[in-house]
Chains A and B, each alone.
Chain A
Amino acid sequence: MLVVAGAIGLLALIVGSLLGPKKGSRTKLMPYESGNDPSGTARERFPVHFYIVAMLFIVFDIETAFFYPLAVAFKQFGAFAFWEALVFVILVLIGYFYVLKRGVLDWR
């Protein structure tokens, strides 16, 4: 089964590349930017700032992942879970205030 499935996939690719026309017009080769004409190259250097914000986003974003299991099991754990979560949020907040105070989030 696996072999047949793989063979069909490969066959489709090979036949497609052998038989298909290979013509490229300007519009066809243009990068896809949601239907707009692209403005400039995509390989520009972004300011470092974007990376820092992205980095902070990753951290704070993943922290929310913990709240889904908490929400599911909240009824069973009751007040204990609430205080635990509060401690967790406060710890994250300390980090957030550190970031704020260091001025990472203001755009010069």
Chain B
Amino acid sequence: MIPTSDYLLLSGLLFTLGIVGVLIRRTAVLVFLSVELMLNAANLAMVAFARAWGQLQAQSAVFIVMTLAAAEVAIGLAILIAIFRKRVSTEVDPLSEMKG
């Protein structure tokens, strides 16, 4: 059985990568991806702790964090789209005639 500390090490590494990404990236989307990495690091830590304590509570908490992450993605994309639309509003998009 893999000890909890190994999971924590991995989770800490992921979280650090996320923080470094947030600090050095200058593109909104990449900052955003780094945040997702941090959230997943937290999820991994929670699942590892849930196993260590022998409780299911934290695993259900992971579901909630996943949902929050999805909601955050949706809002983030929406804000990006709002900005993107504004900045290139004069160009007619060459693909807009394609019917889904």
Contact = CB atoms under 8 A, between A and B. Distances in A.
Instruction: Give the secondary structure class of B's interface.
Output: helix
Interface of B: 60, 63, 66-67, 70-71, 73-74, 77-78, 80-81, 84-85, 93-96, 98-100
Interface of A is mostly: helix
Contact of B95 (A45, A55, A63, A65): A45
B56 to A, nearest CB: 9
B67 A63 contact: yes
Given A62-B70, A69-B63, A47 B96 contact: yes
B73 A58 contact: yes
Contacts of B60: 69
Interface in A53-69: 53-56, 58-59, 61-63, 65-66, 69
